[in-house]
Amino acid sequence: MAVAMNPKCLHRLNAAPHSLSFAYKKLHRFKYSINKSQLPSCPCKPYRKTMSDWGPIIVALVLFVLLAPGLLFQVPGHHRCVEFGNFKTSGASILVHSLLYFGLICVFLLAIKVHLYLG
């Protein structure tokens, strides 16, 4: 006789482990192989809400606005190597600014590890 059980609530089961299914044994092994400090005491209770990391979002937004081709500066410009505030763009400047954006976002998020926790 098979009984459908919620795998998150197996700790409430009063049966011996040898009479349970193979899936429960695998879940039991997995339960003791992970870091218990990151889990709640009862898997049936919902996880507590944690603070959100807004650092990458704010860094990406600021860099996206500041590195828009033609807004503050444009590399390469139409008449010079660097033009400031001309509000024009070209395919080459979009490519250069996207490479600058990628490089700076990697520096800020991977090397410096900017974090901003709110909530």
**Residue 19 structure tokens:** 């009479």
Given a cut of 60, whether residue 93 has pLDDT beyond it is yes
Least-confidence region, from 15-19, 84-88, 115-119: 15-19
Closest among 96, 106, 50 to 73, alpha carbons compared: 96
Tell me the per-residue pLDDT of 31-90, one tens digit each, with 9 for 90 and over: 555 555 555 565 555 656 677 899 999 999 999 999 999 999 999 999 999 999 999 999
Q: What was the pLDDT predicted at 27?
A: 56
pTM of the model: 0.57
